[in-house]
Amino acid sequence: MTKLSVNLNKVALIRNSRGADYPNLVNVALDCERFGADGITIHPRPDERHAKYMDVATLKAAIHSELNIEGYPDKKFIETILNNRPHQVTLVPDEPGQLTSDHGWNTIKQESFLKDVIQTLKTSGARVSLFCDPDNKMVDGAKSCGADRIELYTGPYSWNYGKHRESAIQDYVTAAKHAHAIGLGINAGHDLNLENLKYFKENIPFLDEVSIGHALICDAIYLGLENTIRMYQKLLNDVL
């Protein structure tokens, strides 16, 4: 089974746009679980333009599945993790104000920094995943840093899927096999959708989890949230 973690940042963005608590993030998270999601992801950024740091504690107290918190490990992020102890932390190399995550860590150049951060975060009991490009050197670096998993950044795969899907996925297959061989778990995320997810899952061995937000919420506008989550699970695990 490959777990589906639903990223609720876009739901939080809608909530924030009116300065009220509607839609309520906890209610949506609980509905996602009820509809078949295996986990919930949020990515609080420094400007809190969508998910807020306070959402971490609220979701941790309410949901029944795994909580995955993504973000750049600055002081506030690390304190939030240590205080709330989510099940998984996914570290991304976002600059302040960055629109969205668009590359993986350079786990070689930033090894010392990442080692210290991961060691600190693991005291919370969280599993630590590093956002990573499909490059075996970067995968090796993630292992050296002490990560438990990598999250393969799937933007380039998604952009090139419609042109030549066989070549678009090849580096991901190689990286996934290598990660598994050296003892790393494998997550994936960014721009995965109803069109390209099935092919990705069929070709990537040992895929533990995907985190999907933007595409899933966009699909839900037309298809409904329950139906959309079930469609994604069907592509991942052939279950309704």
Q: What is the mean pLDDT of residues 199-209?
A: 97
Average pLDDT over residues 14-26: 96
Per the annotation, the verdict on 209 as an active-site residue is no
pLDDT in tens, 111-139: 999 999 999 999 999 999 999 999 999 99
Q: Check residue 57 and give its pLDDT.
A: 98
Average pLDDT of 197-212?
Answer: 97
Q: Catalytic site residue 70?
A: yes
Is 43 one of the annotated active-site residues of the chain?
yes
Q: What percent of the chain has pLDDT over 90?
A: 94
pLDDT of the residue at 102: 67
Q: Where are the domains of the chain?
A: 3-237
What is the reported pLDDT for 38?
98
- Which pLDDT tens digit goes with each residue over 72-111? 999 999 999 999 999 999 999 976 665 566 689 999 999 9
Least confident of 21-25, 102-106, 203-207, 211-215: 102-106
- Residue 94 pLDDT: 78
Q: Give the contacts of 69 (CB within 8 A, at least 6 positions apart).
A: 41, 42, 43, 44, 56, 80, 81, 84, 86, 88, 89, 90
Q: Which of 33, 43, 50, 209 is catalytic?
A: 43
| Average pLDDT, rounded, for the chain | 95
Place of tokens 């009820």: 34
Please tell me the predicted confidence (pLDDT) of residue 103: 81
Catalytic option among 151, 178, 190, 209: 190
Is residue 230 very low, low, confident or very high in pLDDT (cuts 50, 70, 90)?
Answer: very high
Q: Which is the catalytic residue, given 70, 151, 178, 209? A: 70
- 32-77 pLDDT, tens digit per residue, is 999 999 999 999 998 999 999 999 999 999 999 999 999 999 999 9
CATH architecture of the domain 3-237 equals Alpha-Beta Barrel (3.20)
Quick one: average pLDDT of 182-192? 97
Q: Output the pTM of the full model.
A: 0.95
